[in-house]
């Protein structure tokens, strides 16, 4: 038997319990409908539910037994290699339909990754601190502007204006003293 046939049969045997459960439930429904037709609606529903449940359970059990015997029989089959589908198989010989890319990293690759991750984290931390300082500076300037507006509304001159005018007066007086000498 070729490898692809082997895998299809193996996958089909995995689906057998589900299929036999559905078949058992359907057969039990028709059997109950034929035998219990003279009951009222509620009793009829109870009987059909009971028969379908029992039929489904019997189907699952029968399907599991059939599947297990099929898997046991497949272990005695000689499987030929199928070169067309060799690249789709995993290393352990099982079939894999999804595409996977596996890459093995060396220790130096991991160390480089860790260094670059640490560098990037440090860069983001510095940027966050700079943004935080900038936000606090903007907030400080905004509160100073609000304070200045309140003082102007009350008619109080701001302390920065007073300090600069005092400094100007001292410079004028010093320059006047120098001119007099």
pLDDT for 85-103, tens place per residue?
A: 666 655 555 555 555 567 7
pLDDT score, position 33 = 81
Q: Tell whether the model's pLDDT for residue 20 goes beyond 70.
A: yes
CA 56 distance to own-chain centroid: 36
Q: What is the b/e burial string over 25-58, where b = at least 16 CB atoms within 10 angstroms of the residue's CB?
A: bebbbeebeeeeeeeeeeeeeeebeebbeebbeb
What proportion of the chain, given as a percentage, has pLDDT over 90?
Answer: 29
Average pLDDT of the segment spanning 39-43: 78
Percent helix, strand, coil in the chain, to 5, is 80, 0, 20
Token code pair at residue 87: 């690249």
Residues facing residue 2 across a β-bridge: 80
Q: How many CA atoms lie within 13 A of 126 on its CB side?
A: 6
* CA–CA separation, 73 and 66 (whole Å): 11
pLDDT score, position 98 = 57
- What is the average pLDDT score of the chain? 78
The residue ranking higher by pLDDT, 157 or 146, is: 146
Q: What are the extents of the domains in the chain?
A: 3-86, 127-159
Average pLDDT of the segment spanning 23-43: 83
pLDDT digits (tens, 9 = 90+) for 115-136: 999 999 999 999 999 999 888 8
pLDDT score, position 181 = 42
What proportion of the chain, given as a percentage, has pLDDT over 70?
Answer: 75
């Amino acid at each position: 038997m070729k490898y692809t046939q082997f895998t299809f049969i193996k996958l089909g045997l995995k689906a057998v319990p589900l299929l036999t459960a559905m078949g058992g439930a359907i057969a039990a429904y028709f059997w109950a409908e034929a035998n219990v037709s003279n009951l009222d609606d509620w009793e009829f529903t109870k009987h059909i539910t009971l028969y379908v449940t029992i039929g489904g359970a019997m189907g699952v059990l029968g399907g599991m037994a059939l599947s297990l015997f099929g898997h046991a029989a497949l272990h005695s089959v000689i499987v030929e290699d199928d070169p067309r589908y060799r690249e789709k198989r995993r290393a352990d010989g099982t079939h894999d339909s999804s595409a996977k890319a596996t890459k093995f990293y060396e220790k130096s690759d991991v160390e480089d990754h860790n260094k670059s991750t640490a560098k990037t984290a440090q860069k983001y931390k510095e940027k966050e601190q700079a943004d935080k300082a900038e936000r606090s500076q903007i907030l400080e300037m905004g509160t100073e502007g609000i304070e200045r507006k309140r003082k102007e509304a009350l008619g109080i001159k701001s302390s920065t204006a007073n300090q600069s005018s005092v400094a100007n007066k001292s410079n004028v007086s010093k320059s006047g003293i120098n001119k007099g000498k």
